[in-house]
Amino acid sequence: MKAVQVTGYGDVDMLEVVDIVIPPPKKGEVLVKVKACAINNTEIWMREGAYGTEEKSGWRPEGVQFPRVPGSDITGEIVEVGADVSETLVGKSVVLFPFTSSGTEGSEHISDDMSFIGSEYDGGYAEYVAWPAELCYDMPLSTYEESAVFSVSGLTAWHMVEQIQAQPSETIVVTGANGGVGSLNVQIASKVFGSKVIAIVGDLALEEKMKELGATHVLSYRSANLAEEIVEVNGGPVDSVLDVVGDALFETSLEVLKKGGKFCISGSAGGQKTQLDFRTLYLKHITFYGSVLGTREEFKRMLGAISEGKIKPVIDRTFSLEQAGEAQTYFKHSGKLGKIVLLP
């Protein structure tokens, strides 16, 4: 089969299109013919070595074993089953839950042995992938392309909103609101949980599109007075901030939070380290949440909301499998709206 492998830590030149053996499904697994695979920060940061320290980077302390096929947002058709898997699954269109774990229900995502497809396992930048049958779920939408954009970004966003216990009476600021996680944070917070959302983007040309996703107000992080604008449009401090930016908007986020406010972060594209005055934290009684991925039950609830039309796919652009390097480069450009999808 054709696949794209990461051959080591580095730039996009570490991505190589290769022909490798189709993986046979083991006991309890199925073989999925990949129809679509959306791109995430996770596989880019894995390649760049942004997870972990020194020369080891990945979801596990030992780092990634190269070569590795990246890609975790996967939809496809089951074409073969391994031992102890019913033949009736052949022909089924599925979306893959993106990691394995021995963690108990509700804590799968924080188990020490959590292992990620595309990092600890070969992933979806390929024509076929083998995966446990129990981690394959019915596609929430009718097309592979649209169903592929939710797995990692959607689960991360859903878990973030559940962590802060969003309420209809609350206002939530969403940073990076035009990105994969951010655009889903906007939809989930507003259309599923009923909260008022202030979306932070770079280009205000996206304002109408962000409002279609559920944002009440749209502001630009380029404003010299962003904190004042947030407080002004809300008529006071906000209840929570859902952040994927990190350092660049950290000070603003804490400034606009009310006393007893909540700050939840799942990414740091705008800087991985910051300065914190602890007095802000304790004098304002702010609660911090670190967040990535989520549980299988949250995944099921998210798929249900997608099936009901409460959350819609937002796709910026598609690329062929051979264009994986170009697609990852484009992913890092500012101003895009939604997900980038590879179509093998």
pLDDT band at 56 (very low <50, low <70, confident <90, very high): low
| 122 token code pair | 């070969």
Q: What is the pTM of this model?
A: 0.92
Domain(s) of CATH 3.90.180.10: residues in the chain: 2-149+313-343
DSSP 20-47: -PPPPP-TTEEEEEEEEEE--HHHHHHH
> Of 344, 332, 166, 188, whose CA–CA distance to 264 is shortest?
166
**CATH H-level superfamily of 154-290:** NAD(P)-binding Rossmann-like Domain (3.40.50.720)
| Residue range 174-182: mean pLDDT, rounded | 92
Is residue 53's pLDDT more than 60? no
Residue with tokens 């009901």: 308
**CATH H-level superfamily of 2-149+313-343:** Medium-chain alcohol dehydrogenases, catalytic domain (3.90.180.10)
Task: Find out whether 4 and 321 touch, Cβ atoms under 8 Å.
Answer: yes
Task: Find out whether 166 and 172 touch, Cβ atoms under 8 Å.
Answer: yes
- Mind listing the pLDDT tens digit for each residue in 227-285? 999 999 999 999 999 999 999 999 999 999 999 999 999 988 888 889 999 999 999 99
| 313 token code pair | 């796919």
Helical H runs in the chain? 41-48, 144-147, 151-163, 180-187, 207-213, 226-234, 247-256, 278-283, 296-307, 324-331
> Of 28, 292, 255, 310, whose CA–CA distance to 141 is shortest?
310
Q: What pLDDT, on the 0 to 100 scale, is given for residue 52?
A: 55
Domain(s) of CATH 3.40.50.720: residues in the chain: 154-290
